[in-house]
Amino acid sequence: MEKRAHNFFAGPAALPYEVMKKAQEELLDFRGMGVSVMEMSHRDKAFIAVADEAAADLKKILGIGDDYAVLFLGGGATHQFVMLGMNALHEGDEADYIVTGNWAKRAYEEGQIQGKANLVASSKDLEKTFSELPEIKKENMSPKAKYLHFCSNNTIYGTQFFDFPEPLPGVGLVSDMSSGFLSHKFDATKFEMMYAGAQKNIGPAGVTVVVLKKEWAEKTFTKKLPKSLDYNFQIKKESMFNTPPCFNIYITGLVFKWVLENGGLEGMEKRNRKKAETIYGAIDQYPDFYRGYVTNKAHRSWMNVTFNLPTPELEDEFVKAAKAKNMLGLKGYRDLGGIRASIYNSTSPESVQFLADFMEEFKKNH
């Protein structure tokens, strides 16, 4: 195997080695066609089969049927913050939002532009901002809301929902799942819409996966919009209204196959639970030295592990020493600092154990 770094970048992030090798093998000659996926028309039957396979595999992973549509769109998950409100909210319409981090806050702000966005719960104003999930009270929700929106995993601060919020009856449940997508078992049929920027957990940057319940979309998205911004039109055109990010869809499809080959959501949950226990175990063993940012252990993310050391200088030394041992991406988010280890589906248990062993060694040396 080629020399590969231990990749803890938060996004773009690690991809499965097997997927990278498959893409390498097919890079110049896709399935005997003599061209790369990057070179063929998105209207060609060979590429349409790639997109169709990816959508079908995702439905299989999620346990959903053809009453859901799978879209492959550009613009990133932040573009969905805009599209969601733009499609769903006429002037005076309401939507409910839960704010648990920077991206959830941005989604809420975009909702305010399009209609009336109700703040149902927020952990922003805690003594340690976003250090745990907020209490979600039904009395703060609006029965007039078109949807309840939340972010399933907080990439920056390191919290994650495992038990998802429940909206009021008749209100659609919508989630930005970018950094927690496919990381553990959950009931996808409870959602009217979920979306994920691929660059965290399922593929390279440049494509966003949107999963929509067709009946809900038809009922909820009734505004006349430019075609490229209209979810129902994109469903009708099966993501092929204009040229989609073809190579990114191809890679994402290979990742879906890798997930299925490795046990689906159940396999990912087993894998990710073990990795999280390994890193948090190292933190909890030395709580005065490795200071976890998240205050409620039940809210700790399996995807993004955040912690501090006693001084910023020691944190800088930690990052430099880790890099010297071929561990990349451990510096915390620019607004938070500290250390962040992003251990998405594709990050190997061996890399996580290597980091835990390094943490043990670094503590003993300091």
Look at residue 178 and give its three-state secondary structure.
coil
Q: Determine whether 258 is an active site residue.
A: no
What the block records as the tokens of 179 is 């950094």
Q: Is the peptide bond before 244 cis (omega within 30 degrees of 0)?
A: no
Q: Are strands 304-308 and 339-342 parallel, antiparallel or unpaired?
A: antiparallel
For the chain, the C-alpha Rg in angstroms (whole number) is 21
How many CB atoms within 10 Å of residue 49?
Answer: 12
Asked whether 10 and 333 are in contact (CB, 8 A), the reply is: yes
Catalytic residue among 59, 146, 200, 275: 200
Percent of the chain as helix, strand, coil, to the nearest 5: 40, 15, 40
Dihedrals φ, ψ of 215, to 5°?
A: -60, -40
Cβ atoms of 70 and 209 closer than 8 Å? yes
The DSSP bridge pattern shows strands 94-99 and 145-151 to be parallel
Set 176, 213, 216, 230: catalytic member? 176
Distance spanning both ends of the chain, measured CA to CA: 34
CA atoms of 51 and 58, how far apart (whole Å): 11
Q: For this structure, is 103 an active site residue? A: yes
The single residue listed with the structure tokens 């190292």 is 282
- 160 forms bridges with which residues in the sheet? 153
Length of the chain: 366
Q: Say whether 200 is catalytic.
A: yes
> What count of other Cβ atoms lies within 10 Å of the Cβ of residue 145?
25
Query: Tokens 């981090």 — which residue?
Result: 101
Q: Rounded CA gap, 303 and 295, in Å?
A: 16
Residues recognised as catalytic:
103, 176, 200
